[in-house]
Structure 1
Amino acid sequence: MKLKLGILDQSPTSMSGNALSALTHSINLALMAEETGFHSLMYAEHHGVEAYGSSSPELLAAIILSKTKRIKVGTAGIMMRNYSAYKIAEWTKLLGSIYPGRFILGLGKAPGGLKDAVMALNNHKPVVLSSMETKLEEIIRFLKEEKGVYENLIAQPTHLEQLPEIFWLGSGITSASEAAKHGIGYSFAAFMNSENGTENTEAYLQQFDLTQYTSSSSLQVAVAVSVAETIEKARRNAYGMAYQFLQSRQLVSPEALFPPEMVEQKVLGTQDEKEFFSILDRMIIETPQSVSVRLEHIAEQYGTDDILVLSNMYREEDRINTYQSIIKNNT
């Protein structure tokens, strides 16, 4: 089964590099993805952390759209609590008008950073989390050019050829139900939480309202993958990514990617060892010969052909090799 493969790019920094090199790698990865046949590229939003080079997925998406011709490009996602619905709608319509059918608006409810970053982004005011779904509704009204809170206010440019795709990012049943209720796509973050995953995605598909934003459901599953010549090498290549996940779960600002040897020094024999290897075990660790079968099984499990792949490696060549191996064997 040929899958609709996408790349989730967090623009990861490594201990041996910096944010600028991470962004250069992101541009090079995008050109490779366009050339080799990936369906989409999605850029993440993180603030105030050393681990990731990009804090503005909408800007990175605009840059990549200008450098490519075919591939769909989007955000995965814009952290809604940090911006007004009106501003999100404005630049979404701008990219949607210049690149019709190619820009994807991925929206998330996560903070995108620790407390200080969120406060700074919101002009030192606390965020009202209960307003996230309301903000989504406002964005949809602006995109569809319907009257909303501001009766005569338009979001330029108007009269788009087609509405941009919207994906609601999440890892729980609430997000799945919200996406279904509003008739938008649902991107399930399996790399963050695979427990009860099929229950969440089935709820989305069963509850999807055909009369809302779009008339057909669009389910995407995001997974963390490492591919190498041997399982052992693929597993060790994923150590840096697993350690970043561990730091995020502990509400610690993730550091730049460490080499496997340094990760071992930090976790072996500590209270974090069990949790670290539990995170690692949930990743997709495969060889070039076996990765396509594993991804097909995941697609069948969730009932979708849309798979978004995250791969953060200490060595950029190992990350590129993972993506090349995946697309080469997608037949």
Structure 2
Amino acid sequence: MSDTISSKQLRDIPLSVLDLAPITEGSNAAESYKNSLNLAQQVETWGFTRYWLAEHHAMPSVASSATSVLIGYIAGGTSKIRVGSGGIMLPNHAPLVIAEQFGTLESLYPGRIDLGLGRAPGADQRTARALRRDLRVGGEDFPELLEELREYLRPRTSESASAIRAIPGEGLNIPIWLLGSSDFSARLAGMLGLPFAFAGHFSPNFTLPALQTYRHCFRPSEVLDQPYAMVGVNVMAADTDELANRLATSHYQAFLNLVRGDLKPIQPPVDNMDELWSEFEKLSVQAQLRSSIIGSPVTVKSKLQELLDATGADELMITTQMYHHADRVRSFEIVADVWKS
């Protein structure tokens, strides 16, 4: 893939939000949910297209484990922005349950619900076993689970008269997206003609290969005539580069704690990360987050355009982890400003 494959301008594509409902040090899940709703209401007024929530489990910094429930809360507090999952980890659930949950959400908030699906557990191995019960289940059966789910959502026909029914769910138009951090879901999404969202915010090394695989494997379907790819990216914006880099240390600490296996709520920013990490840890975290965009409005606009030029994305999904809610809202406000400028 060439270094520059797109002539699109940032202002010409949709922007969306990925939220993990972060829990900060000294706070709790209830406060996190209020902050997420406030952010959703703000980005809705700024013209963002989607607000997605991610399924993670047993993480003290993430409150979005009951993803479907939280989607309903956010959709109920907004009026037009699409709300969905980024994603539901399908092997953790019976497909019928997901069909019913999202059928319920679509019935309550028609035309506004997205169903993004992943195959990873979104948890450590022990928690994944508690979620999935069957220790033999590891995501390899994702294509079969996906087809079962899609069958529940299709309109009922005479041929399906004896089939298990998802009520509500069947016959509803709930867009399904496949999410991935490698080429597995990229290939599957392409073969099925479904939209694809790549987790570039934590898997930067595979972004371009996965997009290339998706586009190469794409076959037109009743859903899409041509590929539609969304790319996730970490953005930490502030009024100056210096302030943005300081605020981003909360995000660095979160990944440092993952490397150490020492999970904590989102920590306050610090003046000097070198006082916290070893050289090896620094290299590990920076490699994982090397695609992150951190800086002032000028820096953020330039880097977002560079990302769009390199990937040819049809949509970008912004995720931002900061300690103070006001700083996170301000970061999205800056993104909105540079997007339209």
Q: Is residue 2:212 matched to residue 1:177?
A: no
- Counterpart of 2:320? 311
Q: Match for residue 329 of structure 1?
A: 338
Partner of 1:18: 28
Shift of 1:151: 4.8
2:201 to 177, 187, 191: 191
Contact 1:226 1:238 in 2 (8 A): yes
Distance 1:19 1:199 in 2: 37
Q: Secondary structure of 1:210's match?
A: coil
Q: How big is the shift at 1:280?
A: 4.5
- Displacement of 1:40 in angstroms is 0.7
For 1:7, the equivalent position in structure 2 comes to 17
- 1:145/1:158 contact within 8 Å kept: no
- The structure 2 residue matched to 1:153, chosen from 155, 164, 167, is 164
AA of the residue aligned to 1:8: L
Separation of aligned partners in 2, 1:213 and 1:281: 34
Residue identity in the other structure for 2:112: R
Question: Could you report, residue by residue, the CA deviation over 1:184-236 in whole angstroms, capped at 9, with x for unpaired residues?
Answer: 11111111112242221122123212135444432100001111122222122
Native 8 Å contact 2:100 2:169 kept in 1: no
- Change beyond 3 A, Cα 1:217–1:164: farther
In 2, the alpha carbon distance for the partners of 1:253 and 1:145 equals: 47
1:300 corresponds to which residue?
Answer: 309
- Give the aligned residue type for 2:287: S
**Are the aligned partners of 1:242 and 1:276 in contact in 2 as well (CA < 8 Å)?**
yes
TM normalised by structure 1 equals 0.91
Cα offset, 1:76, TM superposition: 0.6
2:34 paired with 1:32: no
Unmatched tracts of structure 2, length 5 or more:
1-8
For the residues of structure 2 that align with 1:282 and 1:128, how far apart are their CA atoms?
Answer: 28
Tell me what 2:104 maps to: 94
Alignment equivalent of 2:143, drawn from 130, 133, 136: 133
Alignment match of 2:57 (pick from 31, 37, 47): 47
The aligned amino acid for 2:90 is M
Query: What amino acid maps onto 1:276 in structure 2?
Result: V
1:82-117: CA deviation from partner (whole Å, max 9, x where unpaired)? 101111112222222332321000111111111232
C-alpha separation between the residues in 1 aligned to 2:122 and 2:272? 24
Letter in 2 for 1:200: A
* Contact 2:233–2:291 (Cα < 8 Å) also in 1: no
Letter of the 1:324 partner, please give it. E
CA distance in 2, matches of 1:314, 1:197: 27
Distance 2:260 2:219 in 1: 36
For 1:56, the equivalent position in structure 2 comes to 66
Deviation at 1:163, TM superposition (A): 1.8
What is the CA-CA distance between 1:30 and the residue it aligns to?
0.9
% identical aligned pairs: 28
SS at match of 2:339: coil
**C-alpha contact 2:87 2:116 (8 A) present in aligned 1:** yes
SS at match of 1:76: strand
Q: Quote how far apart the aligned CAs of 1:135 are.
A: 0.4
CA distance in 2, matches of 1:27, 1:171: 27
SS in 1 for 2:186: helix
Name whichever of 236-245 and 22-31 sits farther off: 236-245
SS of residue matched to 1:272: helix
Cα distance 1:124–1:20, how it changes in 2: closer, same or farther (>3 A)? farther
Distance in 1 (CA, whole Å) between partners of 2:25 and 2:271 is 10
1:75 and 1:126 map into 2 onto residues whose CA distance is: 25
TM-score by length of 2: 0.88
* Residue pairs, 1:88-127, within 5 angstroms: 88-123=98-133, 125-127=135-137
Note if contact 2:202-2:289 (Cα within 8 Å) is conserved in structure 1: no
Letter in 1 for 2:20: Q
Equivalents in 1 of 2:262, 2:116: separation in Å? 23
Q: Give the distance between the partners of 2:279 and 2:211, measured in 1 at CA.
A: 36
Alignment check: 8 A CA contact 2:19 2:52 kept: yes
- 1:175 maps to a residue whose letter is S
Q: One-letter code of the match for 2:16? A: G
Asked if structure 2 preserves the Cα contact closer than 8 Å seen for 1:114 and 1:251, the reply is no
Secondary structure of 1:329's aligned partner: helix
Q: Deviations over 1:169-191 (max 9, x none)?
A: 11212220011112211111111
Looking at structure 2, the residues matched to 312 and 96 of structure 1 have their Cα atoms a distance apart, in angstroms, of 28
